Amino acid sequence: MGTKQTAKVCAIMYAVMGLVYSIIGIFMVIFGSGPVRIQGIVFILMPILLVVMGYLMVAFSCWFYNKVAARMGGIEFELTSKE
């Protein structure tokens, strides 16, 4: 899997996990008052930051791993069957 594809998959997973923050934020905005509403808005916007930063960090990590692995060798593992 390529760097961009891996970052996309991780960003989608972060978006799904971030929905929890959005749901909590919606309740805070509806039922809260004053500072609680502001915190609710932050909770609603948090998944956007989570997706963007998650995509960028995973893309950078994959790129960096590929550069290091090209010079030093990658990670080797062996799959065996118990049959």
**What pLDDT digit, counting tens, does each position of 11-64 carry?**
999 999 999 889 999 999 999 889 999 999 998 998 999 999 999 999 999 999
Torsion region of 74: left, alpha or beta (phi above 0 gives left; psi -120 to 50 gives alpha): beta
> Using an 8 Å Cβ cutoff, are 44 and 25 in contact?
yes
The residue assigned the tokens 């509403």 is 37
- What is the three-class DSSP state of 32? coil
Q: Provide the pLDDT for residue 8.
A: 94
pTM comes to 0.76
